[in-house]
Structure 1
Amino acid sequence: MIYAVWLPLLVPLLAAPVAKRVAARLAPHTAAWTLTLTAGALAFCSTLALGMLLTAGALRLAPIAALDDIKPHWLGAEAWWTIPASIMAAGALAFSAVSALRRLARQRRELRDARARTGPTAGDLYVHAHDHPYAYALPGRVGGSGTIVVSSAMLRALPADERDVLFAHERAHLSARHHLFLSAAQLTASLHPALRMLREPLEFHLERWADESAAEAVGDRQLTARAIGRAALASQASRREPHRPSLVLGATTGPVPRRVLALLSAPVDTHPRSAGRAWRVVAAALLCCLAVSGASALHAAADLHSDVEAAEMHHGGHGADADHATR
């Protein structure tokens, strides 16, 4: 446990930038899943490592060790860093827990307030009489389908065929539940600071996912690119956009020029056999990072469990000796 417990805390510093490079070569929906699952796995392993550091130090305290009928010195020689590391782990876990809970509460509050401001809808569409061109996908409650919120100014800025693209884009966000990806990214970033760098690329790939879905729905990639570009230009012309929840996505968010360029370019073949050697090396590095993080966390947990079992056996042996002496 001496070395293994630290690896899950350090691996995200390398794995996060590697994951960004891997995702850049994948199809948008695959990239979004890759980034989200990678962040979740790394956050889980790092949190588990902090928990083991806290437990290892806590068991060195006589009152806590007594709860398991063992004595601290039965756990073996105490390393000088055990108690300080335990204190720091406790602080990090407390800070992470508070940050995650506050983030979750803010997400729910923002969505609740946004839904409260939404008036009568025509199907899944709510048109807000506002002079700022904007549009976004507002997730519904659990089991709900959500609402496309669009301003009257945005509808005036786009011709009819480009409005269809806009609506298809926002419906893709709602149907694929993209806000859950963003929520997971925000919560994992609360558990490990290095995972914050995955949010921006995740937003980009989620927008690209919706772009590709819209292009497939209308059957015209150039029309989709034109609609996304025109909507973004209209939105940039005004700075009076109402506040919107941090979990909602819209056609005008993210690096729009890159998205338009991707739509105007031929779709990239993302089959592993077509990937270059450099990309395969990077992908292998990401898998290695995940494997090392998971294996190290399990190894440290097994070591801690073995130490506690040995201490309990030591306690049992002392109990048997005491009974023998009494007789």
Structure 2
Amino acid sequence: MIVAVWIPLLVPLIAVPAARRLAESLPPRTAAWLLAGCSLALAGCTIVALGLLLAAGALRLPPVAALGHLSLPLLGGDPAVSIPAACLAGGLLVLCAIAVTVRARRHRAELRTARRATDAHPVRGDLCVLPDPAPDAYALPGRPGRVVVTDGMLRALEPAEREALLAHERAHLAGRHHLFLLTAALAAACHPLLRSLRSPLGYALERWADESAASQVGDRRVTARAIGRAALAARPHAPAPYRPRTALAATAGPVPRRVAALLAPGRTPGHPPIRTGLRGRRLIAAALLICVALSASAALDAAADLHETVEVAQAQSAQGQSAQGQSAAR
């Protein structure tokens, strides 16, 4: 167990760069699912590994071993290593729990504040127009979801561009993209290396909405122009103070790269050309799959090993108590 339990903590060193590389060569929708799924899987394996380290060290403490009717000599491992590792793992688990709780509560509070702010203004269908001269627009998740746009943003765009902008925000709502970002944020609280997946995930989600808007409008150039002009109009102004952090907007992310991708589909403007062919993508995907599978299997193997060790210790403890009872009877 001592070796296997550390594997889930180290696998992100390889898995995260592989996921980022693979996502760059995939369609936006597929890339978003890949990045969010990897974040969730690697974070889950990390929590399991920390929990096993904590359990292995705690079981070596006499009070805990007594509660489980364990024989301490059979637990194996060096207490000089397992107990400090357990203390470290326990501290990290507490920090993870606090970070996840704080972020989840902040997300809920921000959504509640934004809903109250938009409730004060007329809503037509899923559209809420705020009487604000500062150009801004974003997708506000909820039941029902709303597209929030200011008067300033509507004045900055032409009618066809407004349609494309609203289609972009509606794509965020339809795809429930805020849950992707929330998943990545919570996963990043469990392992620091997972933070580097949040930026490419945000870009993939914006590209996903870009392509959906272009498909609905039927004109990629109009969609690109709408995104570019909206970003230029909103740049001098700070976003609305009640906009949630997980509320996606058409003006977010590397806008020039997104605009160029709409005008030249199939390319990745602004970055070195990805020369990874189909074979290369398959190799990267295979490596990533192996990393995730290795992390999960190592966690399961460590858990099974710990369980087997505990069973042996319990059996030995029971035999010892039985022997003592027989000696006392004689």
TM-score, with structure 2 as normaliser: 0.93
Code of the aligned partner of 1:32: A
Task: State the Cα distance separating 1:239 from its structure 2 match.
Answer: 2.1
Task: State the Cα distance separating 1:251 from its structure 2 match.
Answer: 0.6
Q: Secondary structure at the match of 1:162?
A: helix
1:173 aligns with 2:188: no
CA contact (8 A) 1:145 1:175 kept: no
Aligned to 1:94: 94
1:286 aligns with 2:284: no
1:322 aligns with 2:324: yes
Aligned to 1:35: 35
Task: State the Cα distance separating 1:75 from its structure 2 match.
Answer: 1.2
CA contact (8 A) 2:139 2:145 kept: yes
Aligned to 1:242: 240
Aligned to 2:210: 211
Structure 1: which 5+ residue stretches go unaligned? 269-273
Q: Is the alpha carbon distance of 1:53 and 1:172 closer, same or farther for their aligned partners in structure 2, counting shifts above 3 Å? A: same
Q: Secondary structure at the match of 2:248?
A: coil
Matches within 5 A, 1:79-158: 79-118=79-118, 119-140=121-142, 144-158=143-157
**Within 1, Cα distance between the matches of 2:265 and 2:22?**
20
Q: Deviations over 1:8-48 (max 9, x none)?
A: 01111221121111111111111101001100000000110
Code of the aligned partner of 2:215: E
Structure 2: which 5+ residue stretches go unaligned? 268-275
Q: Deviations over 1:108-161 (max 9, x none)?
A: 111110111112211111111112111000011xxx131111010110011101
Q: Secondary structure at the match of 2:128?
A: strand
Code of the aligned partner of 1:57: G
**Within 2, Cα distance between the matches of 1:49 and 1:72?**
22
**Within 1, Cα distance between the matches of 2:35 and 2:229?**
29
TM-score, with structure 1 as normaliser: 0.94
Task: State the Cα distance separating 1:275 from its structure 2 match.
Answer: 3.9
Task: State the Cα distance separating 1:80 from its structure 2 match.
Answer: 2.6
Q: Deviations over 1:164-209 (max 9, x none)?
A: 0011000000111111111101100011111000111000000001
CA contact (8 A) 2:60 2:79 kept: no
Aligned to 2:188: 189
Task: State the Cα distance separating 1:312 from its structure 2 match.
Answer: 1.0
Aligned to 1:271: none
Task: State the Cα distance separating 1:279 from its structure 2 match.
Answer: 2.3
**Within 2, Cα distance between the matches of 1:135 and 1:267?**
27
1:66 aligns with 2:84: no
Q: Is the alpha carbon distance of 1:163 and 1:315 closer, same or farther for their aligned partners in structure 2, counting shifts above 3 Å? A: same
Code of the aligned partner of 1:252: T
Aligned to 2:75: 75
Aligned to 1:220: 219
**Within 1, Cα distance between the matches of 2:73 and 2:47?**
27
Task: State the Cα distance separating 1:79 from its structure 2 match.
Answer: 4.6
Q: Secondary structure at the match of 1:289?
A: helix
Q: Secondary structure at the match of 2:189?
A: helix
**Within 1, Cα distance between the matches of 2:52 and 2:43?**
14
Task: State the Cα distance separating 1:267 from its structure 2 match.
Answer: 4.1
Code of the aligned partner of 1:220: D
| RMSD (CA atoms) | 1.4
**Within 2, Cα distance between the matches of 1:284 and 1:69?**
44
Q: Secondary structure at the match of 1:70?
A: coil
Q: Deviations over 1:209-237 (max 9, x none)?
A: 1001101101111111111111111111x
**Within 1, Cα distance between the matches of 2:175 and 2:279?**
32
Q: Deviations over 1:38-77 (max 9, x none)?
A: 0000000011000000000000111111111113223135
Q: Secondary structure at the match of 1:303?
A: helix
Q: Is the alpha carbon distance of 1:79 and 1:63 closer, same or farther for their aligned partners in structure 2, counting shifts above 3 Å? A: closer
Aligned to 2:271: none
Task: State the Cα distance separating 1:321 from its structure 2 match.
Answer: 2.2
Q: Is the alpha carbon distance of 1:320 and 1:276 closer, same or farther for their aligned partners in structure 2, counting shifts above 3 Å? A: same
Q: Secondary structure at the match of 1:266?
A: coil
CA contact (8 A) 1:62 1:71 kept: no
CA contact (8 A) 1:145 1:174 kept: no
Aligned to 2:272: none
Q: Secondary structure at the match of 1:170?
A: helix
Aligned length: 318
Code of the aligned partner of 2:72: P
1:44 aligns with 2:39: no
1:276 to 266, 275, 278: 278
Task: State the Cα distance separating 1:78 from its structure 2 match.
Answer: 2.8
Code of the aligned partner of 2:61: L
